[in-house]
């Protein structure tokens, strides 16, 4: 409150001060105007008073002069003048009495008994004048009156009238001086008010305005910096929205944007656009075994590797966990060979062992690529083509680079159609077991059959497992197929036996997925019991990869439970993978099935040596050895010579439907053994 008047007021209340300031000025102007009016009136009154009092003096002399004239030389004109002058003198006196006696001095001059008593003198002079007028026709009587008038007019009255004139003049001068003083005062007060207003109104107001302006300027500056910050933030957000935060590569959004632009500009620029889809082959294993931090580091390194291979301006994007897409614009269509070279280089570089934090990891990658053709308008269509090629590359064994062609799409479409048919196939029991015989290499007698699945597709005819099993694995339905096949195969075995055929064993193929099902051992045992069979009637074939990929998981527990129950467990396709022999011993594996690829090559000395070594090793570990894919009797003989236990292949019998088995058995004759 103390300094509230001087302090800068709220700008929104400034108007109050202005109203007050202007009001004050108006009050002063109004007062000054009134004072002025008053002074003008007073000056006019003063001038009139001086005028009238001066005329009284002149009239007193004129009355005497005209009276003299009237006595000495009577003339009607002068006479009239005299009457008029007397009247004027009386009027002038009356006016002065009424208007001029404003000061005590003036009143003293007119009425004071100790002073000249101008009022009485004038009354006396007027009385004498009227007496003279009455007697002017008789000069004798009028003359003494005239003398008395003359006495007064040149002595007492004149003196008093002189005094009155002097007094009125002095009073006027004094009043003028006083008014002047008042004017000065008013001027000074006005100046003071203006100064005070300047100090209390305009200066604080100016300060408020200045402060508000400064505030606005400051806010403006802050707004500008905030704007800059927002700009930067939105640029960062934009970057984040278009890039993968882990690898810094483009993300799906940016990939599509850039690719769409390239495709749209293709005609004008005359450039060919190539899209490569890259997928890591063993990333999941690295993530699962070495941890996610390692997985992240691998992804970053993969990104860097690809960036180092492509040219500046090519787009490398991460579109999923371990999926990448590269876009390469080429200046002409003759660059297809260059694309293959780049794709192969990516696959090669990523096949190299990576060393991250002193840890070694082997990742490997498959690459599929496609060029935009006349119809490629949309990015998604082109990326799908590259994905199809990638899918083929993965199916073809991983680690390779393939260019898209239309037959790939046909195959893919066929695969999709087959997947669509799976449900119907289960419902209509279209998965059926085929049986391929196995015989002993020592006495040529029937050992049993391997059960091989077939899809008896209503429209497409018989479909082979190498076509539908990968699909069933993809859709995670392979275990259902296995379960069905096992059921129907065991049913067939018990039927054959009840028909009187001596079929000692049945080999079943078990997928990694069914092995990982904890219910599987119980299911298998109940099936065996249900069909009146014994565990020793059954062999379960498992792939080496099951042992490698699923170390210490449910699959190994299942294998041990099956083996413990008396079912023989054989390693299928042996010689192509990396299963260690120590693991075989540990897991109660009872046999090996040498892979077809080694048997086909048996005439080759190297392959023969490998097979021989496998047979020798297996025998030394008391493992059963089965050779599959035996197509010639020479192969059979060689295997028998090496000491292989059992053989299976077209040379002995092809896989056949259940109905064909009795006929085959009837025709079968135990093979004479060469050695």
Question: Cα separations (Å) of 636 from 590, 594, 627?
Answer: 22, 13, 9
Region of 180-188, 197-205, 253-261, 478-486 interacting with ligand C2E (CB under 6 A): 478-486
Q: Does 517 bind ligand C2E (CB under 6 A)?
A: no
Contact 39, 51 (CB under 8 A): no
- Those residues whose C-beta lies under 8 Å from the C-beta of residue 550, and which sit 6 or more positions away, are 512, 515, 516, 556
Contact 316, 249 (CB under 8 A): yes
| Owner of token pair 């059959």 | 449
Q: Does 573 bind Ca ion (CB under 5 A)?
A: yes
Q: Does 392 bind Ca ion (CB under 5 A)?
A: no
Region of 378-386, 551-559, 616-624, 625-633 interacting with ligand C2E (CB under 6 A): 625-633
Q: Does 464 bind ligand C2E (CB under 6 A)?
A: yes
Contact 342, 309 (CB under 8 A): yes
Q: Does 257 bind ligand C2E (CB under 6 A)?
A: no
Q: Which of residues 533-552 bind Ca ion (CB under 5 A)?
A: 541
485 binds, among ligand C2E, Ca ion, none (CB under 5 to 8 A by kind): ligand C2E
Q: At its nearest, how many Å lie between ligand C2E and the CB of residue 572?
A: 5
CA 566 from centre of chain: 64
Region of 406-414, 514-522, 570-578, 608-616 interacting with Ca ion (CB under 5 A): 570-578
- 160, 208, 511, 590: which one binds ligand C2E (CB under 6 A): 511
At 182, list the tokens: 């008042």
465 binds, among ligand C2E, Ca ion, none (CB under 5 to 8 A by kind): ligand C2E
- 67, 142, 629, 640: which one binds ligand C2E (CB under 6 A): 629
Q: Which of residues 496-535 bind Ca ion (CB under 5 A)?
A: 509
- 509, 558, 590, 638: which one binds ligand C2E (CB under 6 A): 509
**What does the buried/exposed string (b/e) look like for 204-235 if buried means 16 or more CB atoms within 10 Å of the residue's CB?**
bbeebeeeeeeeeeeeeeeeeeeeeeeeeeee
Tell me the number of residues near Ca ion by CB under 5 A.
5
Crossing angle for the helix pair 118-135 and 14-72, nearest 10 degrees?
40
Q: At its nearest, how many Å lie between ligand C2E and the CB of residue 599?
A: 8
466 binds, among Ca ion, ligand C2E, none (CB under 5 to 8 A by kind): ligand C2E
Q: What is the DSSP string of 585-644?
A: HHTT--EEEE-HHHHHTTTSHHHHHHHHHHHHHHHHTT-EEEEE---SHHHHHHHHHHT-
138 binds, among ligand C2E, Ca ion, none (CB under 5 to 8 A by kind): none
Q: At its nearest, how many Å lie between Ca ion and the CB of residue 509?
A: 5
- 136, 655, 665, 671: which one binds ligand C2E (CB under 6 A): 655
- In whole angstroms, what is the distance from residue 123 CA to residue 117 CA? 10
Helix H segments across 156-291?
156-197, 203-242, 252-269, 283-290
Contact 439, 645 (CB under 8 A): no
Longest Cα separation, the chain: 214
Q: Does 596 bind ligand C2E (CB under 6 A)?
A: yes
Contact 161, 167 (CB under 8 A): no
Q: At its nearest, how many Å lie between ligand C2E and the CB of residue 591?
A: 13
Q: Which of residues 344-403 bind ligand C2E (CB under 6 A)?
A: none
Residue 311: other Cβ atoms inside 10 A: 10
Q: Does 492 bind ligand C2E (CB under 6 A)?
A: no
Q: Does 495 bind ligand C2E (CB under 6 A)?
A: no
- In whole angstroms, what is the distance from residue 96 CA to residue 106 CA? 10
Strand-pairing partners, residue 360, are 355
Closest residue by Cα to residue 99 from 162, 156, 164, 157: 164
Q: At its nearest, how many Å lie between ligand C2E and the CB of residue 477?
A: 11
- 53, 56, 121, 436: which one binds ligand C2E (CB under 6 A): 436
Q: Does 287 bind Ca ion (CB under 5 A)?
A: no
Q: Does 555 bind ligand C2E (CB under 6 A)?
A: no
Q: Does 453 bind ligand C2E (CB under 6 A)?
A: yes
Closest residue by Cα to residue 665 from 673, 653, 674: 653
Q: Does 467 bind ligand C2E (CB under 6 A)?
A: no
Closest residue by Cα to residue 447 from 321, 630, 308, 634: 630
Q: Does 479 bind ligand C2E (CB under 6 A)?
A: no
Q: Does 572 bind Ca ion (CB under 5 A)?
A: yes
Region of 74-82, 351-359, 609-617, 649-657 interacting with ligand C2E (CB under 6 A): 649-657
Q: Does 161 bind ligand C2E (CB under 6 A)?
A: no
Q: Which of residues 180-209 bind ligand C2E (CB under 6 A)?
A: none
Tell me the number of residues near ligand C2E by CB under 6 A.
23
Region of 127-135, 269-277, 288-296, 622-630 interacting with ligand C2E (CB under 6 A): 622-630
HEC secondary structure over 306-337: HHHHCCCCCEEEECCCCEEEEEEEECCHHHHH
At 350, list the tokens: 């990523």
Q: Does 590 bind ligand C2E (CB under 6 A)?
A: no
The backbone torsions φ and ψ at residue 126, rounded to the nearest 5 degrees and listed phi first, read -70, -40
Site of interaction with Ca ion (CB under 5 A): 509, 541, 572-573, 628
Site of interaction with ligand C2E (CB under 6 A): 436, 452-453, 464-466, 469, 478, 482, 485, 509, 511, 541, 572-573, 596, 628-631, 649-650, 655
């Amino acid at each position: 409150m103390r300094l509230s008047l001087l302090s800068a007021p709220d700008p929104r209340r400034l108007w109050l001060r202005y109203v007050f300031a202007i009001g004050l000025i108006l009050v002063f102007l109004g007062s000054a105007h009134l004072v002025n009016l008053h002074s003008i009136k007073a000056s006019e009154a003063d001038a009139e008073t001086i005028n009238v009092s001066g005329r009284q003096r002149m009239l007193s002399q004129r009355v005497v002069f005209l009276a003299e004239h009237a006595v000495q030389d009577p003339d009607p004109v002068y006479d009239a003048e005299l009457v008029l002058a007397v009247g004027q003198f009386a009027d002038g006196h009356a006016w002065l009495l009424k208007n001029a006696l404003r000061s005590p001095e003036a009143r003293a001059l007119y009425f004071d008994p100790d002073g000249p008593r101008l009022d009485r003198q004038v009354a006396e002079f007027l009385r004498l004048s009227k007496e003279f007028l009455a007697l002017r026709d008789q000069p004798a009587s009028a003359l003494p009156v005239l003398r008395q008038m003359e006495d007064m007019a040149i002595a007492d009255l004149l003196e008093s009238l002189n005094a009155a004139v002097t007094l009125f003049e002095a009073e006027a001068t004094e009043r003028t001086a006083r008014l002047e003083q008042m004017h000065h005062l008013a001027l000074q007060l006005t100046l003071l008010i203006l100064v005070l207003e300047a100090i209390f109104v305009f200066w604080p107001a100016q300060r408020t305005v200045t402060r508000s302006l400064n505030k606005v300027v400051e806010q403006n500056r802050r707004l500008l910096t905030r704007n800059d910050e927002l700009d930067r933030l939105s640029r960062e957000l934009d970057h984040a929205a278009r890039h993968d935060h882990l690898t810094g590569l483009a993300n799906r959004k940016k990939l599509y944007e850039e690719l769409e632009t390239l495709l749209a500009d293709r005609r004008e620029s005359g450039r060919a656009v190539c899209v490569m889809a890259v997928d890591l082959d063993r990333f999941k294993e690295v993530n699962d075994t070495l941890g996610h931090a390692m997985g992240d580091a691998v992804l970053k390194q993969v990104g860097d590797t690809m960036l180092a291979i492509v040219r500046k301006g090519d787009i490398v994007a991460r579109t999923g966990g371990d999926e990448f897409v590269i876009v390469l614009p080429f200046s002409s269509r003759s660059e297809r060979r260059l694309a293959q070279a780049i794709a192969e280089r990516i696959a090669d570089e990523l096949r190299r062992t990576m060393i991250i934090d002193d840890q070694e990891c082997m990742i490997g990658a498959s690459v599929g690529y496609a060029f935009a053709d006349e119809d490629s308008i949309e990015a998604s269509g082109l990326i799908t083509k590259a994905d199809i090629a990638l899918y083929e590359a993965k199916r073809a064994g991983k680690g390779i680079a393939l260019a898209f062609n239309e037959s790939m799409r046909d195959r893919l479409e066929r695969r999709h159609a087959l997947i669509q048919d799976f449900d119907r196939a289960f419902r209509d029991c279209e998965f059926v077991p085929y049986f391929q015989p196995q015989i002993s290499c020592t006495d040529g007698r029937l050992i049993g059959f391997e059960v091989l699945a077939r899809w008896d597709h209503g429209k497409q005819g018989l479909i082979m497992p190498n076509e539908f099993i990968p699909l069933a694995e993809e859709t995670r339905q392979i275990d259902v197929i296995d379960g069905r096949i096992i059921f129907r195969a065991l049913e067939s075995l018990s039927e054959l036996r009840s028909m009187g055929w001596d079929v000692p064993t049945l080999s079943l193929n078990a997928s990694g997925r069914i092995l990982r099902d904890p219910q599987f051992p119980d299911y298998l045992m109940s099936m065996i019991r249900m069909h009146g069979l014994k565990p020793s009637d059954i062999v379960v074939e498992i792939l080496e990869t099951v042992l490698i990929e699923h170390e210490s998981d449910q699959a190994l527990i299942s294998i041990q439970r099956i083996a413990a129950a008396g079912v023989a467990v054989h390693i299928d396709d042996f010689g192509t993978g990396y299963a260690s022999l120590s693991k075989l011993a540990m897991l109660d594996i009872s046999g090996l099935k040498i892979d077809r690829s080694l048997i086909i090559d048996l005439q080759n000395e190297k392959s023969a040596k490998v097979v021989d070594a496998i047979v020798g090793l297996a025998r030394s570990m008391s493992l059963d050895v089965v050779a599959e894919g035996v197509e010639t009797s020479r192969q059979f003989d060689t295997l028998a010579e090496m000491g292989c236990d059992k053989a299976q292949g077209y040379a002995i019998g092809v896989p056949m439907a259940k109905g064909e088995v009795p006929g085959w058995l009837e025709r079968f004759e135990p093979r004479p053994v060469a050695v």
